[in-house]
Amino acid sequence: MKIIDLSDEHKPLYFVCLEDWSEEMKESGSHKEVWYDKIKDKGLGVKLAVDDDGKACGMIQYIPIEESAVDGKDLYFIYCIWVHGYKKKGVGNRQKRGMGKALLEAAEADAKAKRANGIAAWGLALPFWMKASWFKKQGYKKVDKQGFQTLLWKPFSEDAVPPKWVKQKKKPVIHEGKVTVTSFKNGWCPAQNIVFERAKRAAAELGDKVIFREIDTFDKEVFLEWGISDALFIDQKQVRTGPPPSYEKIKKKITKKVRKLARHR
């Protein structure tokens, strides 16, 4: 196993989070590639873990925190770290072999070389991906929490300032006599891009009873206006998007609101 920087050869694989075998990933569209083209020159770092056969088995992506959805200064922020864990798909399960730790150490070394004062990451209390407990084992400390998401960091210097979550500032506007589906999309995460595409399709199929609104939070001013990076709302109720709900489930939720609206007319 070795850690390499992202190359043109591996970009198509990177854009689908190493899941080129996944039919679901095909629903994510080109949003990740568009996001990458816009942010690649703003300090984005991407490293891959490849096995002895040259197959990419893990990845990490990180950015100066000022370019992220987290409030901080002179730090780097880890968008995600991922080692392939499907037993009978793609390259198979490559977890529990030290790839994640090697990727994290490579990103930390890169951040230090670029004179960052520290590095931050987000983790989940849920035990399936981006586990906060795993980061804690690597020396990261909790500094903020928002729902299921924990913000953690590892300072490199005594004068490092801890980061914090940007809080949600407002809810989507609803339209009288219509069901309003509002999708916030940054573009960095294919899973969230899948949610966006499914919600957009479901709203379109339900016709003029539904208004679909896209909010592009890649624009930092737009993100700060809302305090929301990626999310889906039906009227003003937020829909849980991790892991991505199926198209059928999203459409069912919207349809339920449409029927309720019709009953109250």
**Interior angle at CA 88, CA 121 and CA 137, nearest 5:** 25
Domain ranges for the chain, please list them: 2-164, 179-263
* Residues comprising the chain, all counted: 265
**CA 105, CA 101: separation in Å to the nearest integer?**
6
The per-residue pLDDT for 203 is 97
Q: What is the pLDDT of residue 264?
A: 66
**C-alpha span between 216 and 128 (Å, rounded):** 28
Q: Is 117 left (phi over 0), alpha (psi -120 to 50) or beta?
A: alpha
Residue range 2-164 forms a domain whose CATH class is alpha beta
- Euclidean distance between CA atoms 186 and 192, whole angstroms: 9
- Classify domain 179-263 by CATH architecture: 3-Layer(aba) Sandwich (3.40)
Cα angle: 164, vertex 231, 13; to 5 degrees:
90
pLDDT of amino acid 94: 83
Q: So what's the pLDDT on residue 265?
A: 61
Question: How much is the pLDDT for 179?
Answer: 97
Q: Do the domains 2-164 and 179-263 sit in the same CATH topology, yes or no?
A: no
Mind listing the pLDDT tens digit of every residue in the chain (265 residues)? 899 999 999 999 999 999 999 999 999 999 999 999 999 999 999 999 999 989 999 999 999 999 999 999 999 999 999 999 888 898 888 888 899 999 999 999 999 999 999 999 999 987 678 999 999 999 999 999 998 899 999 999 999 999 999 999 999 999 989 999 999 999 999 999 999 999 999 999 999 999 999 999 999 999 999 999 999 999 999 999 989 999 999 999 999 999 988 776 6
Predicted pLDDT of residue 127:
67
Amino acid 263: pLDDT: 77
Handedness of CA 9, 12, 15, 20 (dihedral sign): negative
Q: Extract long-range pairs of 29-33: CB within 8 Å, 24+ residues apart.
A: 29/193, 29/197, 31/185, 31/187, 31/190, 31/193, 31/196, 32/187, 32/188, 32/189, 32/190, 32/193
